[in-house]
Amino acid sequence: MCALLATIATAGVAVYGQAPPPRSQPRHPSGKLIVTGDVALFIKPGDPDNCILTNRFRHGQRLGFRMTATDGGTGEPENTAMLTAHVRVGGRKIDVPMRFRGDAPTPPGYLSAPYNLWTGFWVVPADAPTGMLRYTVTATDKFGRSAEFLPYSYEASQLTIVP
């Protein structure tokens, strides 16, 4: 079977003059950049509430952003993207840089990170006002595309700081 595949691959090179680029080489985008995701409680590994999906946070808790970036034309992950979450608190905007986790080794005590995952966190400060917060996530990739994630506008689903 391997020999057959090697023969087919070699024949393809002979007919077309070059092999397709390896998957790790940069490719040209074929669609819009798409960003999706959610927020979760980020606490110590092994705690049953770690990474639980929620929109209600208390002072001192780690609000975690979990996002993906995808080429809308191919459906493939766009791991060249740079993502930043933007939180509006008390009249000021706080930028939370996010880190690509898809290729990173999983730290001890964590479940393995799914492919195409960016994460970032923000610790809710003691002086943050209670009530609803607004946030967005922006992304840009090396091809010059940009995208913005906006959570559902339904008020009950917005981030909320609770006493």
Model pLDDT for residues 63-114, shown as the tens digit of each residue: 999 999 999 998 888 989 999 999 999 889 999 999 998 765 566 665 555 5
Residue 101, amino acid: R
pLDDT at 19: 42
Task: Inform me whether the pLDDT recorded for 148 exceeds 70.
Answer: yes
Beta strand residue intervals within 46-145, DSSP E? 52-53, 56-57, 62-71, 82-89, 92-97, 99-100, 118-123, 131-140
Q: Which CATH number is associated with domain 30-161?
A: 2.60.40.10
Q: How far apart are CA 104 and CA 98, in angstroms?
A: 13
Place 37 in a pLDDT band, splitting at 50, 70 and 90: very high
> Is the pLDDT at 145 greater than 70, yes or no?
yes
What 8-state DSSP symbol labels residue 82? E
- Is residue 13 over pLDDT 60? no
What percent of the chain stands above pLDDT 70? 74
What does the pLDDT read at residue 116? 81
Query: Is residue 118 a contact partner of residue 83, using CB atoms and an 8 Å limit?
Result: yes
10 Å CB burial of residue 40 (0-12, 13-18, 19+) is: buried
Pairing state between β 82-89 and 92-97: antiparallel
What does pTM read for this prediction? 0.75
Per residue in 87-100, pLDDT (tens digit) is: 999 889 999 999 99
Q: What are phi and psi of 109, to 5 degrees?
A: 90, -10
User: How much is the pLDDT for 17?
Assistant: 45
CA end-to-end distance (rounded Å), the chain: 63
Contact (Cβ atoms closer than 8 angstroms) between residue 93 and residue 147: no
Per-residue confidence (pLDDT) for residue 107, from 0 to 100: 62
Domain ranges in the chain?
30-161
Number of Cβ within 10 Å of residue 37's Cβ equals 19
- The predicted pLDDT at position 120 comes to 96
> Considering only CA atoms, which of 135, 141, 151 is closest in space to residue 32?
141
